[in-house]
Amino acid sequence: MTANDSSTIRLAIVGLGNCAASLVQGLEYYRDTPDDATVPGLMHVRFGDYHVRDIKLVAAFDVDADKVGKDVSEAIESGQNCTIKICDVPETGVTVRKGNTLDGLGKYYRETIEESAEPDATHDDIVAALRETGANVLVCYLPVGSEQADKFYAQCAIDAGVAFVNALPVFIASDPEWEKKFADAGVPIVGDDIKSQVGATITHRVLAKLFEDRGVTVDRTYQLNVGGNMDFKNMLERDRLESKKVSKTRAVTSNLHGELAGKISDRNVHIGPSDHVEWLEDRKWAFIRLEGRAFGDVPLNLEYKLEVWDSPNSAGVIIDAVRAAKIALDRGIGGSVDPASTYLMKSPRHQVNDDQGRRDLEVFIAGEDATRPAGDAGAAVSAVSAVAADSSGQEQDVADSLARL
């Protein structure tokens, strides 16, 4: 079996935490959904050639002693996992293997879990496992701050010829040097930092842009997030938090054109995780405020609270990211899959507005995109979708798309 087998998406997962638990449950939950159904939780039942049921889990890696050695169906209900259960998952036949820890366990993880005593898997071990299982897409769900570990698995994906979905805020697809590694190897990457379906980032981003589109100046804003899962506990270690704050802040301010446009470190913008409240479990509460000036410089303020189950909120997005990565692999596209990254990720290498991002993604799915062959140095992007855009900003959209080629 080869990694680019076109009939099935053979999925490998690094990190069997709450997000992986929601993804694995979702693959079972939506397995028999009709192609033409509109269902809660999915933007696409069928994404190009692939239905949700075409995703088959073939490998999984973790370092938690309570998960390594177990079938994935059992591991996703083990350890500190605390997300809501949406369905039973039958035995998968996939045993969780010990991965490589590197910087994947921060202070609070080490205080909470026991690391598996098995030897760390080497680079060659991981590559061999990906090849042995016929994996063609690898999703990385490591904890925030796992920069060395994330790049370790990214290199394994390159060397195994396996498409990579970077779900955490370590900058790989958006880093020119790393993106070129994937492009030169002819391996697709979708990244970085998965968006939720309707989460704090997407709502904050859209509402901030709405202010500007309606002629309101955004003077200052904050987004405070609290949750009870291990992700939030891990982020109490502020040294591991920097990339997450950058990713979330840039996702909002990159969509603006006023004084706060593109700002990452500014007294008038504060966006990021704030605290760990254990009894919330996998729920996240986000508190967002925007302060602006409207007609006659009259103050206009908006404040709202968002309550979500954190991990299921990103699972439907990651399902699309996985299928986009496989389609890119099928088409021989190497490097950043920009039409997927810009719509599905917080920190793609090119930011576009969400309407344009959705159009680009749909054109990519339809196979009408202007992409590079594997190993070329250009971008795997859609140029023609902007031409089809029916909006007042059509000319700028075309220019932006051409600039990304």
**Angle, alpha carbons 32-37-42 (nearest 5°):** 80
What is the domain partition of the chain in residue ranges?
Answer: 9-196+314-364, 200-309
- For residue 28, the SS3 value is helix
Residues 6 or more apart in contact with residue 366 via CB below 8 angstroms: 48
Q: How far apart are CA 32 and CA 10, in angstroms?
A: 18
Fold match between domain 9-196+314-364 and domain 200-309: no
Which CATH superfamily hosts domain 200-309?
Dihydrodipicolinate Reductase; domain 2 (3.30.360.10)
Give 14-28 pLDDT, tens digit per residue: 999 999 999 999 999
Name the phi and psi angles at 6, rounded to 5: -90, -10
Query: pTM for the full model?
Result: 0.89
Q: What is the pLDDT of residue 396?
A: 44
pLDDT cut 70: percent of the chain above it? 89
- pLDDT, tens digit, 9 for 90 and up, residues 51-75: 999 999 999 999 999 999 999 999 9
Distance, in Å, from the CA atom of 382 to the CA atom of 362, rounded to the nearest integer, reads 10
* CATH class as words, domain 9-196+314-364: alpha beta
Other C-beta atoms closer than 10 Å to the C-beta of 49 total 15
For residue 115, give the nearest of 68, 83, 61, 147 by alpha carbon.
Answer: 68
Q: What is the pLDDT of residues 85-140, one digit of tens each?
A: 999 999 999 999 999 999 999 999 999 999 999 999 999 999 999 999 999 999 99
